[in-house]
């Protein structure tokens, strides 16, 4: 546990000092808040502004986890630290979970910043239906995403060109999890896919907390699926770590 | 604890498969290591020498669990590197040369804290262990600065501190002295020597013959993924016994002259080292023949600097071994 905490802290510290990530983290929320506002102004649905802003914030969390876990592992491969951390006498999960957790935390910041910019620039009222539930839902969402990120990270350990995989995953998950538009408008074949993504339930919990609704079941499902991802991710990591050692993909050369 | 040997390798082999191109993948295979057998006793300081691409790093990575051997087996302190990975990792440290392998945007101290935790140093010992190592590598006072502001040598020293955090039984040092200034390199040699004297087994690769000669109890020379020679520095030097070396400093030697030197009677090896505009020619010959006159005759018309004749060193023996491979 201590290892997980220290690891998360150090990785968050390391990421927060990257000028590239920092500028992204400053710009993206503004862009997202703007997007949310204009999408829904145009749609003559001002009452849904807050909902849209929350959705946009969640998109930020997802992007952060996706590129974070993919990018972080790729970066570590570049820096030569991937070998050093894999060589630690620990389970691979213990080593990698802090990285995805750190990215999920950076992502939460993106979400909060989106709301804040929405408030400052466009005067979106922050009247959350259930403020405490909103907090809980956000935390659950971050935890769920962090654990889902681990599952993704496990594949990034194996593949040397992990980035190529991360890019095409960004938009579909936004859509499928109903961060951008309600799931109900998507074609029916997407429903089962959406139902197994922790992001869907996390987004739903956050939305329910924003506009009112039974928040806790969604939180529960999000965390349960997240835990499933964690277990599966841990299993995959152990086997992928071995395969990466056989295929020599831990280092660049 | 199991074995009397710290490192045992039998028939280690490693092939890399590479694929280039996405649509029409072309596969190729590189046989980096082709059957290496070694044993290193506990507390021994063992050197691995060889030209670039000989397979030294590959061998080390198979021993330190980062690569799974294509064939053969290896044990560290009696634990198999493939099946008992965790046990092996607990007992080894790994330091490689160059400036990668650290978190640049964290301070030196944070790097050590993180790795101390990751490598399972008990929490109450972390602080003292880190302070001790910072002192050992001479970084005390600079530990709060970010690593991105460190010089090459400072990074290398931090790397070494990192490798020693969990007090490993076996330490793998892959070219630890590249980019380190001569004074720091001497410090480094002393540190490594002390570690071995205190019972740590060290496997060291280096391209500096003098370093290997000074430090190592035994040296293995590998080339083309195979062991070419193995023995104490004195034993290896005997590969050049019965020889004599002529060194000539010259400027702008044509290739044809070098080829002619190779053809001289009694000449065994020739090597050319470029040092700026200067070329250092090393000609090894049978000791009972004096080839110096012949060499100078072949170099007639070339501007020459210092010419000297001397006894062979470990480096000359190394050149002879590698060229014979
Ligand atoms: N990941 C890899 N994929 C493909 N080929 C590789 C890989 N790593 C090493 N090789 C090849 O394997 C051979 C041995 O490389 P290795 O790094 O072990 O040499 P080395 O003895 O450490 O050399 P140097 O003195 O330059 O460090 C080389 O031909 C190299 O090109
Ligand atoms: Mg090497």
| Chain B residue with minimum CA distance to A241 | B66
Strands B243-251 and B267-275: unpaired
Tokens of B236: 């290896």
| Domain-wise residue ranges, chain B | 5-237, 242-323
Which 3 state secondary structure label does DSSP give B164? helix
pLDDT in tens, B138-183: 888 888 999 888 888 888 889 999 999 999 999 999 998 887 888 8
Q: Which residue blocks in chain B are alpha helix, DSSP H?
A: 56-63, 85-91, 108-118, 123-136, 152-164, 182-197, 209-215, 233-237, 255-263, 292-298, 314-324
Q: Is the dihedral of CA A66, A67, A69, A74 positive or negative?
A: positive
| Owner of token pair 């408030």 | A119
Helices A92-122, A2-16: inter-axial angle, 10-degree rounding: 50
Return left, alpha or beta for A146; rule: phi > 0 is left, psi -120 to 50 is alpha, else beta.
alpha
Nearest-angstrom CA–CA distance, B77 and B42? 8
- pLDDT in the model for residue A98: 87
Query: Contact at 8 Å (CB) between B133 and B165?
Result: yes
- pLDDT in the model for residue B182: 86
Q: Which among A245, A236, A229 is positioned nearest to A65, based on CA atoms? A: A229
Q: Confirm or reject CATH 3.30.70.100 for domain B242-323, answering yes or no.
A: yes
B66 and A17 within 8 Å at the Cβ level: the answer is no
Residues with Cβ within 8 Å of residue B204, at least 6 apart in sequence: B45, B46, B47, B48, B173, B176, B192, B212, B215, B216
Q: Is the CB of B57 under 6 A from ligand 1?
A: yes
Per-residue pLDDT of chain A (253 residues; tens, 9 = 90+): 777 888 887 887 787 777 666 666 667 667 766 766 676 665 555 556 677 777 777 777 777 777 777 777 777 888 888 889 888 888 888 888 888 888 887 777 777 777 777 777 777 776 777 778 888 888 888 888 888 888 888 877 777 665 666 666 666 666 665 556 665 666 666 667 677 778 778 878 877 887 777 878 888 888 898 899 889 888 888 888 888 888 877 776 5
Strands B218-223 and B45-49: parallel
**Global pTM?**
0.84
Chain A positions in Cβ-Cβ contact with residue B94 (cut-off 8 Å): 83-84, 87
Q: What percent of chain B has pLDDT over 90?
A: 36
Classify domain B5-237 at the CATH topology level: Rossmann fold (3.40.50)
- pLDDT in the model for residue B136: 86
- pLDDT in the model for residue A123: 72
Nearest-angstrom CA–CA distance, A175 and A185? 10
User: Nearest by CB to B106, which of A10, A245, A246?
Assistant: A10
Tokens of B198: 């205190």
DSSP string, B85-147: HHHHHHHEEEEESSS-SS-TTSBHHHHHHHHHHHTT--HHHHHHHHHHHHHHTT-TT-TTSBG
Nearest-angstrom CA–CA distance, B314 and B320? 10
A88 and B64 within 8 Å at the Cβ level: the answer is no
∠ Cα A107 B100 B200 (to 5°): 120
Q: Which among A156, A129, A98, A123 is positioned nearest to A214, based on CA atoms? A: A129
Tokens of B133: 């190592």
Q: How far is A169 from chain B (nearest CA, A)?
A: 20
List phi, psi (to 5°) of B69.
-60, 145
What does the pLDDT average to over B25-32? 82
- pLDDT in the model for residue B210: 86
Residues with Cβ within 8 Å of residue B302, at least 6 apart in sequence: B250, B251, B252, B253, B254, B257
Size of interface A-B (CB pairs under 8 A): 79
Q: Is the CB of B28 under 6 A from ligand 1?
A: no
Tell the residue nearest (CA) to atom 7 of ligand 1.
A253
Number of other CB atoms surrounding residue A83 within 10 Å: 21
């Amino acid at each position: 546990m201590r290892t997980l905490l220290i690891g998360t802290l150090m990785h968050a510290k390391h990421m927060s000092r990257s000028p590239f990530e920092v500028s992204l983290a400053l710009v993206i929320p503004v862009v997202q808040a703007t997007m949310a506002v204009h999408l829904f102004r145009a749609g003559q649905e001002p009452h849904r502004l807050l909902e849209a802003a929350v959705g946009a914030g969640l998109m930020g969390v997802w992007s952060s986890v996706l590129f974070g876990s993919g990018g972080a592992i790729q970066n570590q491969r570049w820096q030569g630290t991937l070998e050093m951390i894999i060589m630690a006498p620990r389970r691979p999960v213990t080593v990698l979970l802090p990285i995805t957790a750190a990215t999920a935390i950076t992502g939460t910041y993106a979400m909060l910043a989106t709301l804040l910019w929405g408030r400052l620039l466009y005067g979106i009222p922050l009247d959350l239906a259930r403020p405490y539930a909103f907090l809980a839902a956000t935390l659950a969402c971050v935890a769920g995403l962090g654990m889902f990120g681990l599952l993704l990270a496990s594949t990034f350990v194996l593949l040397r060109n992990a980035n190529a995989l991360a890019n095409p995953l960004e938009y579909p998950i936004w859509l499928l999890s109903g961060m951008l538009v309600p799931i109900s408008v998507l074609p029916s074949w997407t429903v089962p896919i959406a139902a197994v993504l922790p992001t869907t339930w996390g987004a739903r919990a956050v939305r329910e907390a924003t506009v009112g609704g039974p928040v806790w079941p969604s939180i529960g499902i999000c965390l349960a699926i997240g835990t499933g991802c964690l277990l599966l991710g841990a299993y995959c990591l152990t086997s992928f770590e071995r395969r990466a050692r056989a295929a020599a993909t831990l280092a660049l050369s | 604890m199991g074995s009397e040997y710290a490192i045992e390798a039998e028939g280690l082999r490693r092939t890399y498969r590479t694929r280039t191109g996405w649509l029409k993948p072309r596969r190729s295979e590189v046989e980096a290591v082709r059957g290496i057998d070694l044993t290193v006793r506990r507390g021994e300081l063992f050197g691995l020498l060889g030209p670039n691409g000989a397979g030294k790093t590959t061998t080390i990575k198979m021993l330190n669990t980062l690569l799974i051997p294509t064939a053969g087996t290896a044990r560290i302190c009696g634990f198999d590197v493939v099946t008992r990975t965790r046990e092996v990792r607990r007992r080894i440290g790994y330091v490689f040369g160059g400036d990668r392998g650290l978190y640049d945007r964290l301070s030196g101290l944070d790097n050590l804290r993180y790795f101390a935790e990751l490598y399972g140093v008990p929490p109450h010992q972390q602080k003292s262990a880190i302070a001790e190592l910072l002192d050992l590598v001479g970084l005390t006072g600079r530990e709060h600065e970010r690593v991105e502001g460190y010089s090459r040598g400072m990074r290398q020293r931090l790397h070494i501190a990192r490798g020693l955090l969990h007090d490993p039984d076996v330490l793998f040092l892959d070219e630890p002295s590249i980019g380190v200034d001569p004074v720091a390199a001497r410090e480094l040699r002393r540190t490594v020597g002390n570690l071995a004297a205190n019972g740590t087994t060290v496997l060291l690769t280096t391209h500096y013959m003098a370093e290997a000669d000074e430090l190592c109890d035994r040296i293995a020379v590998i080339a083309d993924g195979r062991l070419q020679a193995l023995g104490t520095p004195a034993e290896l030097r005997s590969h050049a016994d019965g020889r004599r070396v002529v060194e000539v400093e010259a400027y702008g030697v044509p290739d044809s002259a070098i080829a002619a030197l190779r053809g001289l009677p009694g000449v065994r090896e020739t090597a050319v080292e470029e040092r700026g505009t200067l070329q250092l020619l090393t000609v090894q010959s049978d000791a009972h023949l004096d080839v110096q006159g012949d060499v100078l005759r072949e170099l007639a018309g070339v501007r020459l600097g210092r010419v000297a004749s001397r006894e062979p060193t470990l480096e000359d023996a190394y050149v002879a071994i590698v060229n014979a491979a």
